[in-house]
């Protein structure tokens, strides 16, 4: 079981993702924007940051950078329809971060989380 911080501004998608991860046995705390998610990262420890890239407040790439500074051992997965943005070296996304491109099936998400946590 992993403790996961989920940052996703789409309420419906966030609810579905959190539900699938909880059903798979993970502890999930979710937020609708990068600012609230960053505050949680500053006050709690997470095994995995699962974040959208395009969100209100700070974006997912900045959230991931700050999260990696706070906890270099925390794993990071971007969930996005803009994979090229995450992979662009100019964005300075954490090197070990993985990208799961939207659209994806909930089973793919759970499998990717399991894979990242096992690595």
Query: Which domain CATH number covers 80?
Result: 3.40.50.2300
pLDDT, position 119: 87
Residues of the domain holding 73:
3-118
Evaluate whether 38 touches 63 at the Cβ level (below 8 Å): yes
Domain total of the chain:
1
Contacts for 107 with CB less than 8 Å, ≥ 6 apart: none
Kindly state the DSSP code that residue 2 receives in the 8-state scheme.
-
Residue 109 above 90 pLDDT?
yes
**DSSP H or E segment with residue 3:** strand 3-7
The stretch 43-51 carries a mean pLDDT of 97
Query: What gap in Å lies between CA 35 and CA 116, rounded to an integer?
Result: 24
pTM over 0.85: yes
Query: What gap in Å lies between CA 58 and CA 115, rounded to an integer?
Result: 27
Q: Which residue has the tokens 């989380």?
A: 113
């Amino acid at each position: 079981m992993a403790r996961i911080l989920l940052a996703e501004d789409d309420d419906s998608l966030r609810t579905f993702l959190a539900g699938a991860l909880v059903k798979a046995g993970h502890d999930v705390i979710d937020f609708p924007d990068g600012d609230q998610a960053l505050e949680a990262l500053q006050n709690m420890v997470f095994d995995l940051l699962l974040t959208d890239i395009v969100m209100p407040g700070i974006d997912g790439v900045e959230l991931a950078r700050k999260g990696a500074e706070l906890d270099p051992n925390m794993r990071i997965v971007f969930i996005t329809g803009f994979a090229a943005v995450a992979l662009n070296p100019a964005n300075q996304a954490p090197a070990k971060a993985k990208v799961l491109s939207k659209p994806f099936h909930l089973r793919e998400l759970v499998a990717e989380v399991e894979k990242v946590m096992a690595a």
